Structure 1
Amino acid sequence: MKRIAPVTMALLGGALLLIGCAREAEEKRRIETELRVLQCEAGRWAGADDFLPRLFLDHAQEPVVRRRAALAMGRIGQPAFLATLQQGLSATDAELRAASLLAIGEILDAENMGLYDAAPNPSVMDAIHRCLADPAAIVRARAVEALGKTGRLEFLPPPAAIAPDPGQLNEETQQFYAREWIKAAVRVEQAAAVPAMIRLLPSPVGGTAGRMLARLARRRSLVLNLPAGLLSRLLVSPDPLVRSGGLDLAPLVQSPPDAPTLSALLADPDHGVRVHALGALGRLKTTAAAAAIIRHGESILARSELKGSVRHAYLWKELEAAVDALGRAGDPSGYTAVRRWMTVDGFLAARGFQALVAGDPATAMPLLMDVAPLSDQASALHWIQAAAASQDPAALAWLRGLEQGQCPNGWHADWVASARPFYVSRLLGATPGEPTEVLRLLADPDPFVQAATLDWLREKVPALDAKQTEAVCRLVAKGLNGDAADPLIAAVPLLPRAGETGRNLLIRLLSSRYYPVRLRAARTLKQMGEADPFARIVPMPTAPEDFFRNFLKRGRYGCQVEIRTNKGSFFLELFRNDAPLTCMNFLSLAGERYFDGIMIHRVVPDFVVQAGCPLGTGNGGPGQLIPCEVNTLVYDRGMVGMALSGRDTGGSQFFVTLSPQPHLDGGYTIFARVSGGLEVVNNLIEGDRIEGIEIFWDIPWEEKRPLRI
């Protein structure tokens, strides 16, 4: 074997060193570019010297960098970016054209355009329509998605022109286009799309078609005409998603299946299918269907798995679904069964009261002494929500007692305090002629009570009196530097009624610490005739550069998140490249032990498990709002998304999907997926708790222990 000369070794070592240095320099440039993009996204602006548009239009940049700039502009959402993004539609790179359309769709989103009080530009709409003939399926799919996000029927071409061919769905890109077309047709409520969607039911996208078609039919009160035998084939499909979709459609067809046919699916091996079967039976609204639901509920109550201190989650959630279905069925025998089940368990009693009110708002409110004890916050919250929705005078009197401090035996005062925002409007609606009650609630220290009162004023009181106007202005002035966005968001539409004082407050709100407040203030000023108020919005404050840089440098290393609950642990894989700001926020809150002890406050069978609210009601948050980071990921089973009350209103609440939810795609930031322990997620019910969250970084020179970024 020949020996390598020392000179050759030196040259080889030098070459390797140069390669390593070049790679390190390239990685540093990538991190610094991404850092600037993140600062723009967090600050909700284009950057100094229009950094994002310049980066996007710089043809010397790699396509991946230009795509990232496009995504950032779409997330920020300023309509002024549309002209820049439109230039990307003529790019030679199909993925860049698709990214441009994704960003354009985010800006044209109906909610976003409403925030800017803007209308779609005809030139942009024409450019999107031309992309419907693009040779790349992904570009056509993003074009359809963008048209659907406008929420306007006139922008989506008729199905004959763009509906997918069921016989041409062998490739994944073709299926992707088909799913995006289905979602777009439902978003704009295109009734003419129904026949084409029906033809897709037996196709590879049949699960999406079934669920979304049912949503469209319910929204438009449509009766569906399915080909003979098609529904029967859907209900026996080997795919549980298709069976569930068929059950969603069953009550909406011209000749619905009878109760025995649907009740046979209550023995389906898939939990989700059984839940959908209960829903379908409830929507039949027949005595036979109610009887089938009752039998199933009684069989669950007889199971030994429901005995003891630990409830069997699947059975318990099916029992909840049965209660909801009986409320929807509207049959007297069903109401009788619900009242009987309300004596079994406190949470079931609360859900039963909600079901009774949903079926008949005038139903008599049961006495707490006649039902099982409500021994936890989740049960108390559902009971209060049911009382607020009830039209029974006894329920109103009971709510007034709560407001006066009459806490039921065994209840904690903080349960009632956290639930007050849910019944404020009911109290105000019963006494519209008592302005002192409004003034009292506007001065309440609870920001969510304030917000509920302001919402009621906006919806129910066409003209505020002098004292109410003064109280609203005082609330806004006091909240300018506060830690709650909800009252400010609710107050903005009322400020024009306060004349010059209201205008001045709106101008001050342009520099609010909450970006959604700034946008709403600017929109209102624009509607009042103010010249270009959006130009007066300054960039939002952002985290220090080193915070972003540290996070980005860790991007090359693995990160595992363990969420410990009283039912066991499940694990998350964070999508740090797809939703970096959301991941930073989540990791920071977890590192501060923010989530420790927080309740699982919402569980909807076969839909979501939701947590992260410190109040346990769905209203609370950490005191800051983070931007939405819509991306190309979709809501399959086990995906983790941010809960919102509007664009850019995320904070600490997150949810895990229990089954695919295509209607959520493109609307809620996906930032993680459950990588292990999904059975633990499935076993969670309302009232369970997060015990702690641990973060493990796979960094060689650091100990394998929880670390904060």
Structure 2
Amino acid sequence: MTYSALLRAAALTALTGGALLPACTPRPGASAAAPTPAPTNQFALDSTLRRIATLQDERRTAALLPYLARPEAGYREAAAEALASVQDKAAIPRLLLLLQEEPAARVRQLTAYALGQTSDSTAETGLRQHLAEESDATARRYVLEALGHCTSRAGLAALTRLPPALATDTAALSGQAWGLYRAGLRGLTSEAAVARLVQLLAAAQPASARQAAANALARTRGLNLAPYVAALTAAARQDAHYAVRSAAAQALGKAATEASVPATLAALVRRDPDYRVRISALRAMTAAMYAPVKEAAWAALTDDNDQVALTAAEFFLAHAADEPGPVLLEKANRLAPWRVRATLLAAALRQTGAGQEAIRGAVQERYAASANAYEKGYLLKALGEDPAAFDFVREATFAPGQSVVVGTYGLEALVAQRHRPGFPAARQPDFALALRRGVLSGDVALMGIAAEAIRDPKLDLRRLLAKTDFLVAARQKLTLPRDLEAWQSLQQTIDYLQQRKPTPVPVAAAATHPIPWDVVTAIPAGQRAVVHTSKGDVVLHLLVNKAPGSVASFVQLTRQGFYDGKNFHRVVPNFVAQGGCPRGDGWGSSDYNLRSEFADLHYGAGAVGLASAGKDTESCQWFITHAPTPHLDGRYTIFAQVVQGMDVVSRLEIGDRIDKVELLF
């Protein structure tokens, strides 16, 4: 079987709950997917593909380049995709040459993808020249998106105007929209680019183009979208796809000065059938809209979906002004979901006026009564809004035998208190001593959080903690790569206090944990795993052909029972549910790091990615996306896709248990 045939056989039609783009697959127009996965993965059949993947893992650009000249198109595909993970600018000249000379359309697509992954403007001219010569529609889409990654400010105008010959090419329209999205994420935009994105948002445009345009308008910073409120409103209310409605609703927050926007957002919160759109509408609401949207936000506190209710509570925490604290306390006490309740209690504590002591006491009583470490942590987070609770939070943070989860939340709450305007100047030395205690605690989370606070210029701690000896002593006790995040935080603080250039991050080399090919070759291309959670089962398809090192690590940890009994420690509404941390607070790791595997895959709903502290620092933690999150594309490894149980994913909450992960045979 050829390499291309294997790819087609191993592809998966993802169940994305109505997502515009199938998660973890090339965008429309790329290689066709077949419904039945191959029983054997490509690496078990071909030692050359194993060699290419090994060179990718070892970041050996020079050794990969000759494979771009192999007579077999499959090897050229694999080498181009491997260079997309390596992201070495030294490969640009050879990739540009391949783009011009390559006869196979799929190779040209992956070559353009690899060039985009370099994010280097030296690729811009070659990509632009090739666009006029490219005969394959899908390859043109890839080239246009790559241009968005690589374009200079001067070149943005050309990306904004398609050649007349491509004006009705649906693939080119999609590519242009994604290109403008990628440019916008880099801070490159213009009035003409915004106007073009609004055109691409229209109902007559291709679905992929509409999704890209809506996301670009939502995520590009500094835009004033008031002139386009009618188009945004139409998309938010009427588009057939929730992902477009969701992003358009988010973009409406940048048109807050328009009188119609609050009513539109309030209506979406009350009526849109998809919980993700309701969340985006709540997030788009600003402090300036508070009065006209407040009633819709009150109602959302009891939404059937707890993620919506939590987002409503976060709205009040961020924007409530002059609300009586006791009223917020009363409403919070009637709410059942603990995270929603704790967040509204935080909003109550943030208010000024009578009743603060009673609110503080109520939060402290709930803390004492709760047996849930995550709820206790969130209640400390709520007390982070109240500097008067400093002693209570400090004692809870450093209590003997305390759960690491509680300690992590507690120190974060102390830092939050110090940031509050009412923090007493007389307590600043006590705060500094708490940070020093955190650094010397030996707990990686407390060390990392405390070090970050010490180097925060807003807290002005140089005069109280000027010496670095205790930071150096703490850093020397850490083990790399396991404790990389804490090490990095401590080192950054040492560099800050010593006023020297940042020290490079010591990323582990591939030799410390090479891809275990004996494990990889035994994994079927259609391998599935079921995550048994306290809310129900989630079934994953493991993408061994696209991320062999990451899948092998997940399989090995699963066989060891590593994930059994762990928790989902991070759930961000309409974004991700994350688990796999051995500590349960996000600061845990395995004893090794993996290298990033950035295949030509995209984060749609249900994509499963590896968390990291930067490129090539992946470990044991993984997350599942609730909705398309294209800003993660090419930055976080995708190693699996949810094929069953997205309804469970949408209900997961912090603290929900991973009872067991099993491989399905």
The answer to whether TM tops 0.5 is yes
Residue of structure 1 equivalent to 2:260: 257
Residue of structure 1 equivalent to 2:52: 37
1:30 and 1:358 map into 2 onto residues whose CA distance is 61
User: What SS is found at the alignment partner of 1:599?
Assistant: strand
1:670 Cα deviation after fit: 1.6
1:598 Cα deviation after fit: 1.2
Contact 1:248 1:276 in 2 (8 A): yes
Q: For 1:277-296, what aligned pairs fall within 5 Å after superposition?
A: 277-281=281-285, 285-296=289-300
Is residue 543 from structure 1 mapped to residue 545 from structure 2 by the alignment? no
Is residue 385 from structure 1 mapped to residue 395 from structure 2 by the alignment? no
2:497 and 2:450 map into 1 onto residues whose CA distance is 17
Contact 1:328 1:359 in 2 (8 A): no
Which amino acid letter does the alignment assign opposite residue 322 of structure 1? A
Is residue 444 from structure 1 mapped to residue 441 from structure 2 by the alignment? yes
1:402-426: CA deviation from partner (whole Å, max 9, x where unpaired): 345289xxxx644423435524655
Residue of structure 1 equivalent to 2:112: 101
1:291 and 1:668 map into 2 onto residues whose CA distance is 39
Aligned partner (choices 359, 362, 366) of residue 369 of structure 1:
362
User: What SS is found at the alignment partner of 2:577?
Assistant: strand
1:198 and 1:605 map into 2 onto residues whose CA distance is 26
Which amino acid letter does the alignment assign opposite residue 517 of structure 2? F
Residue of structure 1 equivalent to 2:619: 651
1:678 Cα deviation after fit: 1.9
**CA distance 1:152–1:69, shift in 2 (3 Å):** same
Aligned-residue sequence identity (percent) comes to 22
CA RMSD of aligned residues (A): 3.9
Contact 1:469 1:497 in 2 (8 A): no
Residue of structure 2 equivalent to 1:552: 521
**CA distance 1:100–1:324, shift in 2 (3 Å):** same
Residue of structure 2 equivalent to 1:63: 73
Is residue 348 from structure 1 mapped to residue 340 from structure 2 by the alignment? yes
Residue of structure 2 equivalent to 1:53: 65
TM-score, length basis structure 2 = 0.78
Contact 2:360 2:383 in 1 (8 A): no
Is residue 431 from structure 1 mapped to residue 428 from structure 2 by the alignment? yes
Is residue 639 from structure 1 mapped to residue 633 from structure 2 by the alignment? no
Residue of structure 2 equivalent to 1:456: 453
Residue of structure 2 equivalent to 1:325: 315
Is residue 267 from structure 1 mapped to residue 271 from structure 2 by the alignment? yes
1:693 Cα deviation after fit: 0.7
1:362 and 1:41 map into 2 onto residues whose CA distance is 62
Which amino acid letter does the alignment assign opposite residue 101 of structure 1? A
1:221 Cα deviation after fit: 5.0
**CA distance 1:177–1:466, shift in 2 (3 Å):** closer
Contact 1:282 1:329 in 2 (8 A): yes
1:359 and 1:140 map into 2 onto residues whose CA distance is 54
Which amino acid letter does the alignment assign opposite residue 650 of structure 1? E
Point out the more displaced range, 158-167 or 35-44. 158-167
2:376 and 2:482 map into 1 onto residues whose CA distance is 27
Contact 2:485 2:613 in 1 (8 A): no
1:115-171: CA deviation from partner (whole Å, max 9, x where unpaired): xxxxx5x654433343443424444444444444469645644554349999625x4
1:458-495: CA deviation from partner (whole Å, max 9, x where unpaired): 44479799983333443444436573112332344456
Residue of structure 2 equivalent to 1:8: none
Q: For 1:452-601, what aligned pairs fall within 5 Å after superposition?
A: 452-460=449-457, 468-479=467-478, 483-493=482-492, 516-518=505-507, 540-543=511-514, 547-555=516-524, 557-601=525-569
1:9-51: CA deviation from partner (whole Å, max 9, x where unpaired): xxxxxxxxxxxxxxxxx988963222223333333334xxx42
Q: For 1:148-227, what aligned pairs fall within 5 Å after superposition?
A: 148-149=148-149, 153=153, 156-162=156-162, 168=168, 171-172=170-171, 174-192=173-191, 193-202=193-202, 203-204=205-206, 205-216=209-220, 219-226=221-228
Contact 2:567 2:581 in 1 (8 A): yes
* Structure 1: tracts of 5 or more residues without a match: 1-25, 109-119, 301-313, 510-515, 520-537, 698-709
* Structure 2: tracts of 5 or more residues without a match: 1-40, 420-426
1:530-578: CA deviation from partner (whole Å, max 9, x where unpaired): xxxxxxxx7532337xx314413544x5312111112221211111111
Larger Cα-atom Rg? 1
Residue of structure 2 equivalent to 1:85: 95
In the comparison of the two structures, how many residue pairs are matched?
601
1:438 Cα deviation after fit: 5.6
Contact 2:576 2:625 in 1 (8 A): yes
2:164 and 2:216 map into 1 onto residues whose CA distance is 15
1:445 Cα deviation after fit: 0.9
Contact 2:542 2:641 in 1 (8 A): yes
Residue of structure 1 equivalent to 2:579: 611
Residue of structure 2 equivalent to 1:240: 242
Contact 2:233 2:264 in 1 (8 A): no
Contact 2:167 2:173 in 1 (8 A): no
1:236 and 1:564 map into 2 onto residues whose CA distance is 37
Which amino acid letter does the alignment assign opposite residue 60 of structure 2? W
Contact 2:393 2:413 in 1 (8 A): yes
1:626 Cα deviation after fit: 1.5
Contact 1:579 1:629 in 2 (8 A): yes
Contact 1:212 1:663 in 2 (8 A): no
1:440 Cα deviation after fit: 4.0
1:670 and 1:374 map into 2 onto residues whose CA distance is 37
Contact 1:75 1:628 in 2 (8 A): yes
**CA distance 1:629–1:353, shift in 2 (3 Å):** farther
Contact 1:342 1:349 in 2 (8 A): yes
Contact 2:455 2:496 in 1 (8 A): no
**CA distance 1:28–1:288, shift in 2 (3 Å):** closer
